[in-house]
Structure 1
């Protein structure tokens, strides 16, 4: 008694899981680039916060 169109279509749970994994991977890639920038030049990356406290 199952509808055959549901079994032939895309599984909604699988779609949400794939979208979640893709968003997590994009977030991790973004964080990796920010951390590399911070390691390469820590003073330039944190200059906006220190300028306000020094002046």
Structure 2
């Protein structure tokens, strides 16, 4: 008798789970980079128009 070959396809539920997990990891990486940039240079996130308004008061 021949040895049966194991099926190598991924289950539909497992592929959806892996896709969602990879999307969440990608989103987490983007947020980490954005937060790191904000920590390094916090004043770049503030619009300069608010500085002019505060100086006029």
- Using structure 2 for the length normalisation, give the TM-score: 0.66
Structure with greater helix percent:
1
Deviations 1:5-25 (A, max 9, x none): xxx443100000000110000
Deviations 1:11-54 (A, max 9, x none): 10000000011000000000000000000010102x23x62583
Runs of at least 5 residues in structure 2 that lack an aligned partner in the other structure: 1-6
Computed over aligned residues only, the root mean square deviation of the Cα atoms, in angstroms, reads 2.2
Count matched residues.
46
Runs of at least 5 residues in structure 1 that lack an aligned partner in the other structure: 1-7
Which structure would you say has the larger RCO, counting Cα contacts within 8 Å and 6 or more residues apart? Answer: 1
Structure with max Cα Rg: 2
